[in-house]
Chain A
Amino acid sequence: MEQQRVHERDRTWAEWMRAANAGDEIAYRRLLEALAPFLGQVVRRGLRSGFGNCDVEDVVQETLLAIHLKRQTWNEREAITPWVTAIARHKLIDSLRRRGRHVELPIDDFLEVLPAEIPTERLSSRDAERLLSVLSGRQRDVVRAISIEGMSAREAADRFRISEGAVRVALHRGLSALAVSCRDLDQ
């Protein structure tokens, strides 16, 4: 029964990701919103196995960012949960290692996790402004406008008087730079 639920859930997620690949923005949002609490559980479970400590939401956010930037590595014909958990595992290990631990996490531990409702607001320990401070001027403005102020690319383009294409380039480069700097921020 539980296995069946896990299987059903994987099919739904894979379907959303395929739809997202075909250009469906709403499906992509649904997927990421469903993954966030799941990843929180995966990370907490990984930490409970007795390995160190770190801010769960930091790792969740790094994992979401990595899922986004590496989504070309998921094969549409394969299950998506093992791919997602492999990325979470990599990010968790990376995060613990930065705190000077050598860790080996058994991958099987992660696969059976079921999502539960997470009551609290999901907030990482990292201050958004501090995180954004690693970006250069234009990238920082664009990422802030879209992430924190919730603007669309069009609105951001109007505000900064640049083309929508330039907004998108700045956003994408900004996200890649954030992924790199996350590694160094904790040190």
Chain B
Amino acid sequence: MRTDELINTLVADHAVQPRPKPIAHGLVMAIVGGLAISLALFSLTLGVRPDIVSALGTWRYDLKLSVNLVLVIAAAWVALRLSSPTTTPRSAMRALLVPALLLLAAVVYELVTIPASAWPSRAMGVNGVLCFASIIFLSVLPLTATIYALRRGAPTSPAMTGAVGGLLAGGLGATVFAMHCTNDSPLFVAIWYALAIGLVSMFGVVVGKHALRW
């Protein structure tokens, strides 16, 4: 094929949509859409915990929610940066330290303020396995929407971008699940939530490796 023929074609195609929508636009839609579907599934299956109003006033609950929300925001920011071909992945990933350090600080605070004998029961909580499974269940559709939105990007590392997309989706699923879950200790969050989100992130790697190639 001749290069000038290709250029003719590209120019003809350009006329259709001179300025394609930025990726941020698609990603926000994916987050809003993914969140809406997860919330719908959530209200059909698990439902909000009965003591939500009083829980909202406790630091542990608020922190659990905040850590997940901060993770969603940080991951969205990083995923957008990774979607540009000029970004070096290492520097872009730094924003993910914010939710990680927030949780770490809460864990340290919890360990210092409660007696060591209470650690295991706080860490194991009431039903860790349900929590783990529910977060994954609530993250699947957000992950699909996120990867779909990121397909318009041009990441130098599809696998890493997929991983961050997985963190975003896992964070969304966890934020929704947090409204049901009565285990508010940072120790519980650092184990069960992190495990579930980590697994969703691994799904993201597997899917992203193929879906985000360009």
Instruction: Give the interface of A toward B (CB within 8 A).
Output: 20-25, 28-29, 32-33, 36, 57, 60-61, 64-66, 68-73, 75, 78, 82-83, 86-87, 90, 121-124, 126-128, 131, 143, 146-148, 150, 152-153, 168, 171-172, 175, 179, 183
Closest Cβ–Cβ distance, residue B45 to chain A (whole Å): 37
Closest Cβ–Cβ distance, residue A11 to chain B (whole Å): 17
Q: Is the interface of B mostly helix, strand, loop or mixed?
A: loop
- How many A-B contacts if CB must be within 8 Å? 121
Chain B residue numbers with a CB within 8 Å of A71 are 20
- Tell me if B94 is interfacial: C-beta within 8 Å of chain A: no
The residue on A at minimum CB distance from B6 is A61
Contact (A175, B1) CB under 8 Å given A64-B7, A87-B85: no
**CB pairs A–B below 8 angstroms (29 shown):** A21-B18, A23-B18, A25-B14, A25-B15, A29-B7, A29-B11, A33-B7, A61-B1, A61-B3, A64-B3, A65-B6, A66-B154, A70-B85, A73-B23, A73-B84, A73-B85, A73-B153, A87-B85, A90-B85, A122-B3, A124-B1, A126-B1, A146-B8, A148-B5, A150-B5, A150-B8, A171-B9, A171-B12, A183-B213
- Tell me if B144 is interfacial: C-beta within 8 Å of chain A: no
Chain A residue numbers with a CB within 8 Å of B15 are 25, 153
